[in-house]
Amino acid sequence: MPQPDEFRYVAADDPLALPLLTELAEEYDARYGDAWGEPASTEINRYPVAEFAPPHGAFVLLLRDGVPIAGGAFKTFDPDTTELKRIWTSKHHRRQGLARRVVAELEDESRRRGFARVYLTTGPRQPEAQRLYAETGYTPLFDTTLTAEEVVIHGFAKSLSGQPLDIEDIRRRHDESLEHFYAALPNRRLGAGRSEVTA
């Protein structure tokens, strides 16, 4: 008899996480190629495994009959905020609301750890991700009148405490994080209001 779906927290380098990381790398490369001056899948290995380990991070899989079908992670963004990363649904299990379940679980775990808000970024060629966050209470940290390609990195944030989101503070931290990210790229292709650096 099938078992109920189960959330399981694992290390980011646990063999159970390999399908998530493999599919994400393939999807990033298919959508973005080397638009950033490096393979898009480089993002998968940008952070040490320890950043997704307790007490500062988490890596969760949603298992169905013992097989990973969705998952995600967070790391600490600032003392009050977690940053969602690696949100994934298996290509064989999409359109079942699994990403929403993973995001909700990571929000709950963030609250359990004492964090007051959650932050994330997604790219211009991931409209379904942008839609997911817009529909689940996240506030966009970008000008929504611009096109996705003009915005480039789409930042979102959400309060977990019941208190209003401090938009000014999280937007400032988002902008600072983007500056570090862009500065580290071999060839910067930036969005609105920024000069482009081509190959």
Q: Counting beta carbons within 10 angstroms of the beta carbon of residue 170, is it exposed (0 to 12), middle (13 to 18) or buried (19 or more)? A: buried
Residue 34 or residue 174, greater confidence = 174
Q: What is the band of 38 on the pLDDT scale with cuts at 50, 70, 90?
A: confident
Q: Residue 187 has what pLDDT?
A: 61
For the segment 99-139, what is each residue's pLDDT rounded down to a tens digit? 999 999 999 999 999 999 999 999 999 999 999 999 999 99
CATH of domain 6-184: 3.40.630.30
The full set of domain ranges for the chain reads 6-184
Mean pLDDT of 175-184: 88
Q: Name all contacts of 61-64 with Cβ < 8 Å and 24+ positions apart.
A: 61/7, 61/8, 61/9, 61/10, 61/16, 61/17, 61/20, 62/5, 62/6, 62/7, 62/98, 62/101, 62/102, 62/105, 63/5, 63/6, 63/7, 63/8, 63/16, 64/2, 64/3, 64/5, 64/6, 64/93
Mean pLDDT of 132-159: 96
pTM metric for this prediction: 0.89
Does 18 have pLDDT greater than 90?
A: yes
Q: What is the band of 17 on the pLDDT scale with cuts at 50, 70, 90?
A: very high
For the segment 45-95, what is each residue's pLDDT rounded down to a tens digit? 889 999 999 999 999 999 999 999 999 999 999 999 999 999 999 988 888
Q: What is the band of 181 on the pLDDT scale with cuts at 50, 70, 90?
A: confident
Q: Residue 183 has what pLDDT?
A: 83
Does 32 have pLDDT greater than 60?
A: yes
